[in-house]
Amino acid sequence: MKLGIVGLPNVGKSTLFNSLTKAGALSANYPFATIDPNVGIVSVPDERIVKLGELYHTKKVTPATIEFVDIAGLVKGASKGEGLGNQFLANIRDAIVHVVRCFEDPNIIHVDGSIDPARDIETINLELIFSDIEILDRRISKIAKQAKMDKTYAKELELLEAVKAHLEEGKMARTFEVPDDEDDEAWFKNYNLLTAKPTIYAANVAEDDLADDGASNPHVAKVREMAKEEIKQLSEEFLYILYNAALKRSNICGIIVENMRPEYLPDKQFQTINKIIGVYFKANKCPPSVGILMEKVRDNLDSVELVQTINEVSYNETDDIIIDTLEEYIKDVKLKQVYQKIPQYYNKGQAEKAQDEIKKYAEWLNSFSLHASSFIDVLGTFKERYDDNVKEVEETKRQNKPIVSRFYIDDLDEMNGGRNLRTQLTCFLAPTGVGKSHIARHIGLHAAIDDGLDVLHFQLEGSQKEVVDAYSGALIEKSSYLYEKGKLTDNEIDRYMAQINEYAGNIDVKSFPRFNSKVSTIDIKSGIDEYKKIYGKPPDVIIIDSMDLLSDASGKQWDSDHERHKRIAVANDLKDIAGDEDVWIVVTYQATVENRDWLNDEKNVLTEYNCSEAKGLARPMTHLISLNQSDNERKENIIRLHIAKSRFFKKGKTIKIATRYEDEVFYDKQRTLNISKVA
């Protein structure tokens, strides 16, 4: 979980950050004491994890963590570059902690010259709104172009313009009524707007206000009033679906009986029905019928009408979607409750209690799930599970996510047989100079050109300029040297531009300083979040060149004796990201082969039995494919691709392909076909 601490300059953000994380960030009595964001990670120890680790003799035990980001103070006009601007807001991922000054002290500077929490909150909210509008403008620009060629984009364009109009009225995105449509709901969620995130207001008060928790402080009262106004109950539309499902299925009925609270519900009618269902379920271990429920509420016409509405509602959501929605809501409510307590502890000088509260929440979050963990009767649930699978397939089709199923190498594509590569992790392993980066760019390029997929390329080896120039050369199948040195004619450039403008996909490159050992899988996740803020959705394909330069999210300093464990930890992090974001992740990894003579024997290929890097990567990867090349093959521009491991392909198969590196071409289809014919 990553929380961003925001507020005006000099209101106590860094002080709160230091108290929570013990990070020692600069805290001073002048505006903009914080320039670059301070990041602190609070570990959440859990005795259960330690015991499980001992039980299963695991090499590594990684506790849950909460990441706090202390963001430079915002001022009015930050979106236009005032103060330090709003450039650091991209660091906010999951929720916002908004620090508001609620104490009078002439010795401590206030940027606006007076204490007015309502004004301060409005200032920050407006800057968050402006930041969201910038994100929407970029998305609108892209979708508007696509809508001219494909009318299916018109629907999303309509939603984007509606959300923008809502924000331009000075309203937060979380108050926008998303149309009751699965596509609209999915798009809105993926925009990742700041003003749609849960917000916790931290009122910074003087010591004199601690005795009554700020109850006598009019500034605190105002903050509480404004915060209360923003707390939303579950929507009636969702509740109709939830209670319809609960009256049909015991598992969902049991979930609402155990977890639904009166304050989650919008009115007394829903509260009454919830109470009746709860009493009946506890007594009979099954949901009441509609008839029984009608009998119980017959004297209340409003409740009768509500039961009728619940009974008649139609929907396409699966049980998993319904449960997930309720679960996310409860998590948000819990988060708000926790952070109502934290400022109180902080203002009393009880930083340890504040940290304990956070740890308790993290432990609860780690264990909380509304999904059943009991045994499943395979035979008894056969038809029900099949129907759910059909619904999931239909849901995927409705989302209009493009198919990701090709390696853009004929033999590999034939072996894959059209299988969906989303959520999968593929590694290409090779010694230096064989072509790891070339195959990474080959997949990224053709995913964009051939299938219109959106690609995000993380360059960890070499410079951003090098990889972008190499991509540019590959686009036109010309040496990147000609592009880099301006050796193309005007006519060629015009012809190539006309060609490139027809491509539907998008290729974005994000690089890091050369050989930066501090780059971790957290940076990969942050890069994806940044991409989603700009485009409103994750990419379809993610390329990482090269994975061996990554560390895992734990922040552990791995020594040379534990490189294998590090590889597995990094790969597991990337697998989680691929699953969470529903993307295909392709990585390269450099193999260390000291015996050149061994490589020159064309009977030899890199496998987990003869290569230490392959041994560490075989288990977590969906596919592990090694690139092999002798000196003679290098002269002939030939590479052997060996299936070292695959969950779906036949392990041990070797494929010969031809390359044309002088033209930035990894896979020369015609020459490869000729090689196959000769063989």
Inform me whether the pLDDT recorded for 441 exceeds 80.
yes
Q: Do residues 407 and 584 lie in contact, with contact meaning Cβ atoms separated by under 8 Å?
A: no
Ranges 62-66, 413-417, 514-518, 568-572: which has the least confidence:
514-518
pLDDT value of position 637: 93
Does the pLDDT of residue 407 top 80, yes or no? yes
Q: How confident is the model at residue 244 (pLDDT cuts 50, 70, 90)?
A: very high
More confident residue, 39 or 27: 39
pLDDT at residue 528, as a whole number: 92
The per-residue pLDDT for 180 is: 61
pLDDT, residue 46, reads 67
Average pLDDT for 305-329? 87
Mean pLDDT value across residues 373-383: 70
Q: Is the pLDDT assigned to residue 32 strictly greater than 70? A: no
Instruction: Give 590-600 pLDDT, tens digit per residue.
Output: 998 877 788 89
Angle in degrees, CA 572, 577, 579, rounded to 5: 95
High-pLDDT (> 70) share of the chain, %: 87
Say which residue, 376 or 107, is predicted with more confidence: 107
Residue 345 vs residue 2, higher pLDDT: 2
Q: What angle (nearest 5°) sits at the alpha carbon of residue 307, between those of residues 304 and 313?
A: 140
Tell me the pLDDT tens digit for each residue of 249-270: 888 998 999 898 887 887 788 9
**The pairing of beta strand 2-6 with beta strand 623-628:** unpaired
Q: Which of 62-66, 257-261, 406-410, 538-542 has the lowest mean pLDDT?
A: 62-66
CA angle 671, 677, 678 (to 5 degrees): 90
Mean pLDDT of 438-451: 93
- Residue in the block written with tokens 């929720």: 95
Q: How confident is the model at residue 443 (pLDDT cuts 50, 70, 90)?
A: very high
Write down the pTM of the prediction.
0.52
Instruction: Name the token pair of 57.
Output: 């003799």
d(CA 293, CA 310): 11
CA–CA separation, 628 vs 638, rounded Å? Answer: 9
Q: How confident is the model at residue 421 (pLDDT cuts 50, 70, 90)?
A: very high
Strand 541-545 relative to strand 654-658, pairing? unpaired
Q: Per-residue pLDDT for 632 more than 80? A: yes
Q: What is the largest CA-CA distance in the chain?
A: 90
Mean pLDDT of the chain: 82
CB 66 within 8 Å of CB 88: no
Q: Please give the Cα distance from 319 to 107 (Å, whole number).
A: 57
Give the pLDDT mean for 496-514.
79
The CA-atom distances, in angstroms, between 656 and each of 71, 207, 602, 627, 679 are 52, 74, 11, 10, 10
Residue with tokens 């760019």: 441
- Residue 678 pLDDT greater than 60, yes or no: no
pLDDT at 408 over 90: yes
Better-predicted residue by pLDDT, 248 or 62: 248
Question: Within 13 Å of residue 569, how many CA atoms lie on the same side as its CB?
Answer: 22
In the three-class reduction of DSSP (H, G, I as helix; E, B as strand; rest coil), residue 563 is classed as helix
d(CA 242, CA 253): 9
- Would you say how long the chain is, in residues? 679
137: which residues sit within 8 A by CB, 6+ positions away? 164
Tell me what the mean pLDDT of segment 241-252 comes to.
91
Which H or E run includes 261?
Answer: none
The DSSP H or E segment spanning 229 is helix 218-230
CA dist., res. 406 & res. 292, Å (int):
55
Distance CA 33, CA 25 (A): 10
State the average pLDDT over residues 386-396: 75
Residue 674 has pLDDT above 90, yes or no: no
* 249's tokens: 């299925």
Instruction: Identify the three-state secondary structure at position 618.
Output: coil
Q: What is the pLDDT of residues 94-142, one digit of tens each?
A: 788 889 988 888 888 787 778 888 888 888 888 889 889 988 998 998 8
CA–CA gap between residue 242 and residue 273 (Å, rounded): 12
Residue 363: which pLDDT band, with cuts at 50, 70 and 90? Answer: confident
- Which of 35-39, 368-372, 439-443, 618-622 shows the lowest mean pLDDT across its residues? 35-39
H or E segment to which residue 322 belongs: helix 319-347
